Structure 1
Amino acid sequence: MEVTIHETTTIFPSNSPFKENHVLPLSYLDTDRNLDVTFRYFRVYSNQNNEPDPFTLITSALADALIPFYPFTGCLQRNSAEDGRVKLHCNLGSGVPVVRATVDSTLESVNYLDDPDESFSEQLVLNPDPNEAMDHPMMLQITMFKCGGYVLGSAVHNMLCDGLGASEFFNWVAELTRGSNKTRSDTEWNRVGLLGPREPPFVDFPFGDLLTLDKDFSPYLQPVGPVGKVCFDMDDAMLDRFKAYLLEKSGSRFTTFEALGAFIWQAKVKSSKIPSNEKVKFAYLMNIRKLMNPPLPKGYWGNACTQMYVQLTSKELQDLPIWEIAELIKKSKYNATNEYVRSYIDFQKINYEKGISGGTEVSGFTDWRHIGHSTVDFGSGGPITVFPLSKNFLGSMEPCYFLPFSSVDKEKMRGFKLLVYLREYAMEGFKEEMEKLCGEKYA
C-alpha cells in the first residue's frame, strides 16, 4: 500500500504577527541535547461529518493559529561562535509546510492504524533530515483515505515544545476549525526570563553521578542494531491485580506508571542481555509547570518538563524484586522540585559545551494518556487513534509509550495500549517476560 503525494503548500499566518525579522532565545530545557530531534506522530480521524475537504478546513484554521503561535514558522540555528546552543530565527514571509496526500484504501482496511505496519505508517508523517528539520521545525501532512477519513501527520522539532505545548497548539487549531471566533493573547514565550540560569549558577543535586559529559557522544547514534516495535493491550483489571500484588509484598501503593514501568524496564534489560556491570537508566519526564516557584504562566508552551532518572547496574536491576524497582521510581519523583529544576538548568549552563546526555543504555518512558493528544477535534470528534513513530526520545533509542486505546474498538475502554521499541534480537525474550505479566505469574 502506498501514499500518493500531490502537493506541498506553505501555510503563512493569516495576518503578519511581526514587522521585522528577529531572534527568539530558547531555554536550557529547550536546548537540552536529548531534545535535538524531530518528534513524529499521527492522529487518525474518521471524518464522521463527511467534510469534503479537511485539508482546506484545517490549513485555513492553521493560518489563523499561526498568528499567536508564529514561532512555529521560524528556523532553528546553532550558534557556532559561542557554546553551540540553538536560537529561533523568525523571518518575514516564513510559514509551515503542509503536504496533501491520498491513499486508495479505507481506514478500516488498515484497522484504523491501531497497530500499523511500519512500512506504511512511515509514509504518513514527513521525516525531515537534520538540516531540513532545523529550517522547518514544524511540518505537517494530511492524508485522505478512500472512506473520507484522514490522517494528520506531525513532525515537530522537540526543541520548540514538549507534548503538552504541541497539544496546546493543535487544540487551538481545532477550536478555530470548529468555528471559534476567539483570539489568543495569552501565549507566553519568555523562556529565558522564566527558565533561565541563576547568577551565579548553583548546582545542588549530584547530576554528575547520573549524566555523561562527552561532546562527541550522540545518544541517537548508538550501535544497538535494528530496533523494532511491539504493542500490548493493557487491561485495567489485570493491572489492578498486579498493583495489589506489589502492595501485598511491599506495603506500598504504586501508580500504573510506576508498577508497569518497573516491570518493563527489568524485562527490557534482561532480554537485551546487557552486561551485569553496565549502568542502566530509567528516564521519564515530569511536568514542572506547577512545580516552579512561581508557577509558569498558563500560556507557556515551551518545554516545561524535566528529565528524571533512576540508575542501577544491569545486575542490580535484574536481581531486585519488582516492588523495590517500583519504589525507586516512586521515590525519584520526590526530587522534582523547584530547586531540582533550577539546579538542572544551572548544570546545563555550566556544562553545556561539554555535551550532556544520559549516556548509554537509557530506557525512556512516557505516558500519553492524559496530555491532550486525544482531545484535538476538528469538528467531527477527536482522533480514533494517536500513534508515535519516534524511536529517538529522552536520550533513548528504545522508548516506551503508554497510549490511549483506539476508540474504534468499543470493547477496549478500560485500559490502554503499550507501545515498546527495543532492539530486535531482544524481542522474543521480552515477549516471554510480558507473557508472565499478562498471565499473572509475577514471581
Structure 2
Amino acid sequence: MEQQQLLRVLDTVLLSPPVPAQHAIAPLPLSGLDADRNVLDVAFRTLRFFPPPDPSSSLDPFAVLPRAFEAALGLFPALAGRIRDGHVVVSDADTVPLVLLVASELSVADVDTDAPGSALLDSLAPKDGDGAGPALALQATRFACGGVALGMRVAHALCDGAGGTKFLASAARFARGQGPAAVAPVWERRDRLGPRRPPRVVTPLFDRVLALDDHVARCGPYGAAWDGHERRQQLTRECFHVSDARVEALRARLADEAGLKLTTFEVIAAFIWRARVKANGTSSGEVVKMVYSMNINKLVDLPLPDGYWGNVCVPVYVALTAGDLVSRPLAATAAMIKKSKQEVGDEYVRSYIDFQELHRGEGVTAGPRGAVSAFTDWRRLGHGEVDFGWGGPDAVLPLSWRILGSTEPCFLLPYGAADERRRQGFKVFVAVQRKALPGFRDEMEELLLQQQQSSVGKL
C-alpha cells in the first residue's frame, strides 16, 4: 500500500474568525505587489514537521491547534476571505478548514523530507484550490510517534513566506498561552504600496527584462498546461545537501577575484544558475534570466510598519546570453547579481508596481518559463518562532513550484534545529529539466556535503 493511502481523516474543523456579524469587514484592497499576476492567482503550499510532545505531558496537538488558529484568525481575518477583483472580501459567515488526520502506521522517520517530488509529502497539505474557496486552508497530521505535520495553503496575494510565518507565529503564541504579540497586524496595503496616480515607469530596467505576451495574458504567467501530465514529465524536483565550508571557500575565492564582498546568496545563485544553463545545453545566443525576490522593507522611502504582513518582496532580474553566462568567470556573474541588488530602491519598487498596473491585461512576462531561473531564500524566515508548545519545526518545505513567473525555482532551505547537518550546511530544493539532471548533478558536486556525493543520485 502506498504511504499516502495510510492517512485517515479524523475530522474537518471549520475555524471562524471571532468577528461579530455587525462588524463584518469591508472589501480590503490589495497592494500593487499583492496584485502582481505572478502571485495573484497562486496558492502557495507549505509543510512543517514538528517533534512529538513530551510523553510526560498531557498535551494534545489536536486540541491545541484549532483553538490557536481560530484565535490567530481574529488578528488576520482576511485569511478567511475570498479574493475578488483586486480586493479581499470577508463576511461573518466565512470559515477556514482545518483537516485533522492520523497516520497510525507511519512515523515521521518514515517520511523522506528530502524528496521534494514525494507524493506522500504532497498529500500532507491541502490541495491547490480553484480560487473560489477561502484564502487559507490548513491540514494537521499526527503520526504514530506523536510527531505532527502541518500543511498550509494560502493565497500568495495575501502574503509571502515572511507574512505567512507571522500568522503561524501568532497562532503559536496563542497555543503557548502567551496571547497576541505586542505588534498588531497591519493592512494599509493600497496606501503603502499601491500604484501612483497616474502610474509612471521611471526605471528603464523593466523594458530590458520584461515583455508583453498575448498567451500570458490569456493563460497566466505559468501557462494553463502546467498541471498537465506532459509538462510534469519534463521536470524533476531534487534535493541537494550543500556544504557551508565549500560555499565559504568558493565565496572567498570569488570575492578575491571580483574585488568585492559577496554574500552566500550571490555566490550560490550565480553557481546554480550557470550549472542549470550548462546542463540544459541552452543555445549560446539565447537570452537566459535569473530572478530573485528582494525584501523592500528598508528600501522604500516610507518604511512599512512592523505589523505589515503583505507581500514585501519585489522581483529583481539579471539577464545574459547563455554563451556569455557559461564562458564568463563565475565571479563576474556574482558581481552582476550584487549590482542588480544595488539598483533596487524606492523608485524601482514604485516603477515595478506602476508597470504592472499599466500592462495588467497585456501579459507581463520575463520570457519562456524554461528560460527563467527563480531563486528564493527561506533560511531566515523566523521558522523557530513557530513553536506551538512542543518545539519548533524539524523541517520546513515548499510544496508549490510556481514563483516569480517561473516553474523551475530553486529554494534555499534550513535544516531543522534537531538535524545535525544544520551545523554543516543547508538544503537546496530545485526543479530541473529531467534530461539535464545528470549534468546538473555533476555541476553541483563542488558544493555538496561529502557524505552526499555518492547518495544524492538516490533522492
Question: Do the aligned partners of residues 224 and 335 (structure 1) sit closer, same or farther apart at CA in structure 2, a change above 3 Å counting?
Answer: farther
Change (3 A) 1:109 1:247: same
1:324 aligned to which of 323, 332, 343: 332
Residue 97 of structure 2 corresponds to 97
2:13 to 2, 6, 9: 9
**Is there any run of 5+ residues in structure 2 with no aligned partner, and where?**
451-459
In structure 2, the partner of 1:213 is 212
| Alignment match of 1:232 (pick from 240, 251, 274) | 240
The answer to whether 1:34 aligns with 2:38 is: yes
CA spacing shift, 1:21–1:300, aligned 2, 3 Å? closer
Per the TM alignment, residue 265 of structure 1 is displaced from its structure 2 partner at its CA by: 0.2
Q: Which residue is 1:82 aligned to? A: none
In 2 relative to 1, CA 56–401 (structure 1 residues): closer, same or farther, beyond 3 Å? same
Q: Which amino acid aligns with 1:256?
A: T
Q: Which amino acid is the alignment partner of residue 400 of structure 1?
A: C
Q: 2:68 corresponds to which residue?
A: 61
1:147 corresponds to 2:145: yes
Give distance in 2, aligned partners of 1:261 and 1:269: 12
Name the CA distance, whole Å, in 1 between partners of 2:9 and 2:449: 45
Residue of structure 1 equivalent to 2:273: 265
Offset of residue 18 of structure 1: 6.1
Whether 1:384 aligns to 2:389 is no
Select 1:422's aligned residue among 410, 432, 443.
432
User: What secondary structure does 2:102 align onto?
Assistant: strand
Per-residue CA deviations over 1:107-147 (Å, capped at 9, x if unaligned) read 12335x24466111111011123x2x342221110001001
* Equivalent in the alignment of 2:109: 108
* 1:95 counterpart letter in structure 2: T
Do the aligned partners of residues 17 and 311 (structure 1) sit closer, same or farther apart at CA in structure 2, a change above 3 Å counting? farther
On the 8 A contact 1:224/1:423 being kept in 2, the answer is no
Using the alignment, how far apart are the partners of 2:367 and 2:423 within structure 1? 38
**In the TM superposition, what is the alpha-carbon distance from 1:49 to its structure 2 partner?**
2.4
Q: Secondary structure in 2 aligned to 1:62?
A: helix
Q: Secondary structure of the equivalent of 1:59? A: helix
Tell me the distance in 2 between the aligned counterparts of 1:92 and 1:15: 6
Q: Show CA shifts across 1:364-391 (max 9, x none).
A: 1011011113321001110011111111
Distance 1:17 1:298, change over 3 A: farther
Q: 1:71 to 1:174 in 2, by over 3 A?
A: same
Distance (Å, rounded) in 1 between the aligned partners of 2:154 and 2:383: 14
Distance 1:425 1:374 in 2: 37
Amino acid at match of 2:70: A
Query: Which whole-Å CA distance do the structure 1 matches of 2:244 and 2:158 have between them?
Result: 34
Q: Which residue of 1 aligns with 2:80?
A: 73
Tell me what 1:23 maps to: 27
Separation of aligned partners in 1, 2:21 and 2:181:
13
Match of 2:189 in 1: 191
Distance change >3 Å, CA 420–CA 325, structure 1 → 2: same
Instruction: Report the residue type matching 1:121 in the other structure.
Output: L
Q: Distance in 1 between matches of 2:256 and 2:308?
A: 42
Amino acid at match of 1:143: T
Q: State the AA in 2 paired with 1:410.
A: E
**Aligned CA distance change for structure 1 residues 46 and 276 (closer, same or farther; 3 Å):** same
> Deviations for 1:342-365, whole angstroms, at most 9, x for unmatched residues?
111111221112121222111110
Identity %: 39
Q: 1:439 to 1:153 in 2, by over 3 A?
A: closer
Residues 199 and 117 (structure 1), Cα distance of their counterparts in 2 relative to 1, 3 Å cut: closer
Residue 395 of structure 1, CA deviation? 0.9
Cα distance in 2 between the residues matched to 1:438 and 1:114: 14
CA contact (8 A) 1:203 1:343 kept: yes
Do the aligned partners of residues 293 and 413 (structure 1) sit closer, same or farther apart at CA in structure 2, a change above 3 Å counting?
Answer: same
| Cα distance in 2, alignment partners of residues 125 and 18 from structure 1 | 34
Displacement of 1:437: 4.1
Structure 1's unaligned 5+ residue stretches are 80-85
Matched, 1:352 2:360: yes
* Structure 1 residue 289, shift from structure 2 partner: 1.4
Contact 2:236 2:431 (8 Å CA) reproduced? yes
Residues 201-210 or 47-56, more deviating: 47-56
| Contact 2:186–2:308 (CA under 8 A) maintained in structure 1 | yes
**1:128–1:165 Cα change, 3 Å:** same
Distance 2:295 2:308 in 1: 12
Q: 8 Å contact 2:291–2:316 — kept in the other structure?
A: yes
Paired position in structure 2 for 1:83: none
Q: Assess, with a 3 A threshold, how the Cα gap between structure 1 residues 437 and 370 changes in structure 2: closer, same or farther.
A: closer
Q: Deviation per CA, 1:8-67: give whole Å up to 9, x if none.
A: 221011343862352111111101111121111111011232455312201101111111
- Which has the larger displacement, 142-151 or 385-394? 385-394
The more displaced of 151-160 and 222-231 is 222-231
Aligned mates of 1:155, 1:364 — CA distance in 2: 21
Distance, in Å, in 2 between the alignment partners of 1:169 and 1:182 is 11
Cα distance change, pair 17–164 in 1 and its aligned pair in 2 (3 A): farther
Once the two structures are TM-superposed, the CA of residue 268 in structure 1 deviates from its matched residue by 0.6
For 1:403, give the aligned amino acid.
L
CA change 1:411–1:216 in 2 (3 A) is closer
Q: What TM-score do you get using the length of structure 1 for normalisation?
A: 0.92
Distance 1:432 1:114, change over 3 A: closer
